[in-house]
Amino acid sequence: MEKAYATAIFAGGCFWCMVSPFHALDGIIEVESGYIGGHIPNPTYEQVKSQQSGHYEAVRITYDPNMVSYEKLLQAYWMQIDPTDPGGQFHDRGPSYRTAIFYTTEEQKRLAEASRQALAASGRFDAPIVTEIIPATTFYLAEEYHQDFYKKNPVEYQQDRKISGRDEFIKKYWGDEYWQFFEKDK
């Protein structure tokens, strides 16, 4: 009997940095880098990065809902991003680096809205949460060299991540809670 897997799609800035945290969770089948939300079919990285295609860099996560809940994926997502920045993420600027949750079901929409509201009410951030919750459209896989970039190019990945400011942000706003969240699945 074939297992029933589910899909989650999150935009959180550079997709290279969004893959490894989700791979750390139990129940994740696959994490793919790609593009969503734009106005041209089959965009290339160059078209998306030029900020002219309207696409977001995003990750599509295939997961086993019997092992990991969508709520846990949302929690992991919020810990990866600056949800208060409308202009991009960290050192990556422009529309393709904005944050968004792309829902594939009404239940995902409801859960995403509830999690965004809870985060806003938590007082963790001084500025308003600007991450959008949008119906999923066609997800286009990024070029092969972007898939699992952190595994294929660990030195370049670590250098990019270090200069991005992402880890400093995570440490400031999540501290040990971040590491404890991801270590629970190890």
Distance, in Å, from the CA atom of 117 to the CA atom of 137, rounded to the nearest integer, reads: 24
Catalytic residue IDs: 14
Helix, strand or coil, per DSSP, at residue 77: helix
Mean confidence (pLDDT) of the chain: 94
Q: Which pTM value belongs to this model?
A: 0.94
CA distances 132 to 58, 101, 123, 161, 166, Å, are 13, 6, 19, 24, 20
55-81 residue pLDDT tens: 999 999 999 999 999 999 999 999 999
Residue 94 has pLDDT above 80, yes or no: yes
139-158 residue pLDDT tens: 999 999 899 988 898 999 89
| pLDDT value of position 99 | 98
Spans of all domains in the chain: 6-181
* 8 Å CB contact between 19 and 176: no
| 154, burial (CB in 10 Å: exposed 0-12, middle 13-18, buried 19+) | exposed
Residue 12 has pLDDT above 60, yes or no: yes
Specify the CATH number for 6-181; select among 3.30.43.10, 2.40.50.140, 3.40.50.300, 3.30.1060.10.
Answer: 3.30.1060.10
Distance, in Å, from the CA atom of 183 to the CA atom of 52, rounded to the nearest integer, reads: 39
